[in-house]
Amino acid sequence: MVPLSYYLILSALLFSIGTVGVLVRRNPLQMFMSIELMWNAVNLSFITFARQYTNMAGHVFVFLVITVAAAEVAIGLAIIVVVFRTREHADVDELNAMKG
Amino acid sequence: MNFPVINPLSVLPEIILLATSIVALFIALFLPDRRGHQLNYLGLVGVLAAIAVLPMLWAKVEVGFGGAIVSDHFALAMDAAILVSALAAFLLGLREVEPGADYVALVLWAALGMMVLTSAVELLSIFLGLEVLSLPLYVLAGFRRDRTTSKEAAMKYLLMGAFSSGIFLYGLAFLYGATGKVSLASIQAAILQNFTSHPLFLEIGAGLVAVGLAFKLALVPFHQWVPDVYEGSPTPVTAFMSVGTKAAAFGALVRILTVALPAGIVHWQPLIAFLAVLTLLFGNLAALRQTNMKRMLAYSGIAQAGYLVVAIAANSQMGVGAGMFYVVAYAFMNIGAFAVVAALSGQNEEGAEIASYRGLAYRRPWLAVSMTVFLLALASIPPLVGFPGKFYILRAAVSSGGVLLAIAIVVGTMISLYYYLRPVLLMFTHSEETESPFPATAHWTAHVTVGVMLAGTLVLGILPGLLTGPLQNAVHAIYGL
């Protein structure tokens, strides 16, 4: 059997990739996908820990996270569409009406 | 087996808010244009009803949902601050946002999420509370779709909010992974009895949770989204989210860090203290060079969050009590200041520049004097409510050995005097201009808000004892004494 720590390391790697993606990418859709990657990396951690303790709380947590993530995507995409309907490129660096 | 007890009493104020929002959405179906300003008053009634049941619930601690939600004195006190800010969102919203059922429902849901967050004592309910408060606020920030700044605010808030939620969630995963428990009480018990799988997991978990909430609380260096979001959002929404989110995030931080993770074993204190000092210095310095009133108040809000976090860093019962007092004080001062901004600005926020406040005292004496009181309170000049608030925090910091934190507070306050007093000076400077950039009249509800906040700022400033008694109970409640 694969040791549980491998899953935790994989989850940490995925989370880091997501974090770097948010910080480096400038396209809001790609940033949003990176955020989703972070959330799902966390899900993997929850499942691993649930396996380790053989209790169901981690599984329940993952279901809740998936549900909330779905709601977040719905709202997020709606906002992205509203913002970029009037613009040519989807690039967060162009969102600079406010400064200081 | 035993079924877990649901106990609706533990979420009675939340149920009232939810019911109001559903009624509002339902009524909107039958309105000719599916909107209607009158629904705003319905929201107002709902919030007032929720405030009215708080004293009735004060008598007894109610535990609900199998121990996931606790309606104790701490939660109820924070709920009061949250509901007051929701009240302001409705009172101020009438003019600027053209509210309909959607606005009413979104504000009520956000307030509901905040209240769940302050009364949540399980990781699951904490996460749900945080998300229920965040999602409606993303939409509310962009509520004025016709304005570029509002859309931009929504976008920035969404990306930073979801990003910080991810970090927070990872922290929760580590807390669960370290102990195998989801309830804060059993996590604490596991830590105290040394039943943890890996001490490093606890440290990482505490750190990630602190960073995730630092985004919500607007602590430096996780504050970059705040000025843009506060400036771009409609003013009523800004007033609501600046106070409500801070109260809720403070509640969660207190419950997770000071109560569930004993500072002697899990070393979160240096991190929080570091963030507090950074926030106090940077927030105040950055506020100095602002020319837009809302943006200045945003940076002032960052600095104020710094004071709040010092109370957590003190890690004592006194610190928690002082922080709670400060949340209430901040609610009155800050909503008051935003209410004046909202009363002065018209549909499109003309005149949000500080320069346009010149000579205001000669044209709109009532609003100018009120603004002066709120700004002086934020600068913590006695006998206004900011003064006892800051005094308690200073006291808590010093008595738990945080002399450096106390020095940071004093330095930050000194810097803040400049930017709080500059608009006051401008307002009382005579100007030759006869033409005012502001609309001639404000909606009566804006005046009511200003009046209520003014009363709170003055009364609690002169008689802080009115609040400290109940807060003492609240502190005992969370420490389980």
**How does pLDDT run across A27-45, given as a tens digit for each residue?**
999 999 999 999 999 999 9
Specify the pLDDT at position B22.
Answer: 95
Would you place residue B430 in the very low, low, confident or very high pLDDT band (cuts 50, 70, 90)? confident
ipTM reported for the complex, 2 dp: 0.94
pLDDT score, position B389: 93
Q: Where are the domains of chain B?
A: 8-479
B391 φ/ψ sector (left φ>0, alpha ψ -120 to 50, else beta):
alpha
DSSP class of A55: -
Cβ(B307)–Cβ(B251) under 8 Å? no
Model pLDDT, residue A84 = 83
Mean pLDDT of B230-238: 90
Contact A22 B123 (CB under 8 A): no
pLDDT (0 to 100) of residue A1: 72
Which of A28, A48, A78 is the closest to B159 by Cβ? A28
Out of B145, B149, B170, the one facing A42 most closely (by C-beta) is B170
- Phi/psi-derived region of residue B401, left when phi > 0, alpha when psi is between -120 and 50, beta in every other case: left
Q: Note if the bond before B234 is cis, omega within 30 degrees.
A: no
Question: Does A64 sit within 8 Å of B177, measured CB to CB?
Answer: no
Instruction: Give the count of alpha carbons within 13 A of A18, CB side only.
Output: 25
User: What residue in B sits closest to A4 (Cα-Cα)?
Assistant: B177
- CA B8 – CA B15 distance, rounded (Å): 8
Chain A residues with a Cβ under 8 Å from any Cβ in chain B = 8, 15, 18-19, 22, 28, 31-32, 35, 38-39, 41-42, 45-46, 48-49, 52-53, 55, 57-58, 60-61, 64-65, 68, 71-72, 75-76, 78-80, 82-83, 92, 95, 97-98, 100
Q: Record the tokens describing residue B165, joined without a space.
A: 């939620």
- In this prediction, residue B434 has a pLDDT band, given cuts at 50, 70 and 90, of low
- How far apart are the C-alpha atoms of A15 and A18, rounded to whole Å? 5
B371 pLDDT tier (thresholds 50, 70, 90): very high
Dihedral pair phi/psi, residue A82, rounded to 5°: -60, -40
Subunit contact A57:B151, Cβ cutoff 8 A: no
| Cα B19 to Cα B53: distance, rounded to the nearest angstrom | 15
Q: Identify from A36, A75, A93, A94 which residue to disrupt to test chain B contact, counting B C-beta atoms within 10 A and taking the largest count.
A: A75
What's the confidence (pLDDT) of residue B34? 60
Average pLDDT, chain B: 90
Q: Determine which of A5, A56, A95 to mutate to test the interface with B (most B C-beta atoms within 10 Å).
A: A95
Mean pLDDT of B334-339: 94
pLDDT of residue B435 exceeding 70: no
Residues 6+ apart with CB under 8 A from B353: B291, B292, B293
DSSP for residue A57: H
pLDDT at res. A68: 95
| Domain with residues A4-90, CATH architecture | Orthogonal Bundle (1.10)
pTM here? 0.94
- pLDDT tier, B440 (very low <50, low <70, confident <90, very high otherwise): low
Q: What pLDDT is stored for residue B101 in this prediction?
A: 85
> What whole-number distance in Å separates Cα of residue B289 and Cα of residue B297?
12
Q: What backbone phi and psi angles, to 5 degrees, belong to B97?
A: -100, 0
* pLDDT of B37 above 80: no
- The 3-state DSSP class for residue B315 equals coil
Cross-strand pairs, B71: B62
Partner residue opposite A71 with nearest CB, options B124, B135, B173:
B135
Q: How far apart are CA B156 and CA B295, in angstroms?
A: 15
Instruction: Kindly state the tokens that stand for B349.
Output: 């926020």
- Hey, what are B56's tokens? 């009735």
- Interatomic CA distance for residues B277 and A32, integer angstroms: 32
Q: What would the pLDDT profile of B382-401 be if each residue is shown by its tens digit?
A: 889 999 999 999 999 999 88
Does the pLDDT at position B286 exceed 90? yes
Q: Distance between CA B214 and CA B223 in Å, rounded?
A: 8
CB B196 within 8 A of CB B178: yes
- pLDDT at position B462, please? 93
Alpha carbons B118 and B248: distance in angstroms, whole number: 5
**Contact at CB, B123 and A61, closer than 8 angstroms:** yes
Q: Does B197 touch chain A (CB under 8 A)?
A: yes
Residue ranges in chain A modelled with pLDDT below 70? 88, 99-100
Q: What percent of chain A has pLDDT over 70?
A: 96
The confidence score (pLDDT) of residue B375 equals: 96
Given a cut of 60, whether residue B90 has pLDDT beyond it is yes
DSSP letter at B379 equals: T
Distance CA A24, CA A21 (A): 5
**Mean per-residue pLDDT, B162-166:** 95
Residue B48: per-residue pLDDT: 96
Res. B431: pLDDT tops 80: no
CB contact under 8 A, A92 and B159: yes
CB A29 within 8 A of CB A90: yes
Task: Give residue A86's pLDDT.
Answer: 75
Residue B64, strand partner residues: B69
Which of B279 and B39 is assigned the larger pLDDT? B279
Secondary structure (DSSP) of B260-309: IS-TTTS--HHHHHHHHHHHHHHHHHHHHT--BHHHHHHHHHHHHHHHHH
Q: What are the φ and ψ backbone dihedral angles of B288, each rounded to 5 degrees?
A: -60, -35
Q: What is the pLDDT of residue A100?
A: 63
* B253-262, B326-335, B339-348: least confident range: B339-348
